[in-house]
Amino acid sequence: KAGVTQTPRYLIKTRGQQVTLSCSPISGHRSVSWYQQTPGQGLQFLFEYFSETQRNKGNFPGRFSGRQFSNSRSEMNVSTLELGDSALYLCASSPQPTSQPQHFGDGTRLSIL
Amino acid sequence: GESVGLHLPTLSVQEGDNSIINCAYSNSASDYFIWYKQESGKGPQFIIDIRSNMDKRQGQRVTVLLNKTVKHLSLQIAATQPGDSAVYFCAEPTAGGTSYGKLTFGQGTILTVHP
């Protein structure tokens, strides 16, 4: 069974631009969560989606948004990029929100110039 | 608690030694804990988990111990191998039991295994 797939793996943007990252969960998994990983703050929760609905949201500004499609694939969008948005963005999936544990993809490395 | 991540604890061991990685958690109501391993350039990989009604759980070469009195978790790796070199994170769900999809991670510990 294929794991969580995140695209693209690497992305370079400039300040002020926007970006969309994609996540395809493990087949049959309907719960998707996003995390931001930086050297300074570690791993921080962004959002959780299930059945196309956002269930939980982390403490990030409104520039960070996400959505989930009917096939469980998810995207996250960051608008008006700032230098501090440079990070590894990780997606994790599980069959349902109450399923344990989450399984992670290898992330998208976003660099802001 | 919140992950801080700026100065990660490090553990350096010789191949074949046993390793113990520690983690303190903040929420006494947490009912489930997870250990992840993250190798360079990859996402976190699930190692082992434990529910709060257990004190100990064993996997292949790994054991997790839970001390709820002092809110402490430890991961023991037996006969550590160079392939075990990675950053190890503990994590706990923090959505009040309604979801395990919102995890709070510890700061991580860098394990280096020398041949």
Assign A99 a pLDDT band (cuts: 50, 70, 90): confident
CB contact under 8 A, A41 and B4: yes
Q: Which one of B4, B36, B101 has the shortest CB-CB distance to A97?
A: B101
A51 touches chain B (CB under 8 A): no
CB contact under 8 A, A56 and B46: no
Residue B3 has pLDDT above 70, yes or no: no
CB contact under 8 A, B108 and A41: no
A81 to chain B, closest Cα gap in Å: 22
Q: What local confidence, expressed as pLDDT, does residue B97 receive?
A: 61
Pick the residue from chain A with its C-alpha nearest to B103: A45
CB contact under 8 A, A35 and B45: no
Mean per-residue pLDDT, B95-113: 87
Long-range contacts, stretch A54-63, CB < 8 angstroms, 24+ apart: A55/A97, A55/B95, A55/B98, A55/B99, A55/B101, A55/B102, A56/B95, A56/B99, A56/B101, A56/B102, A58/B102, A60/A36
Q: Which one of A4, A43, A102 has the shortest CB-CB distance to B101?
A: A102
- Average pLDDT value for chain A: 96
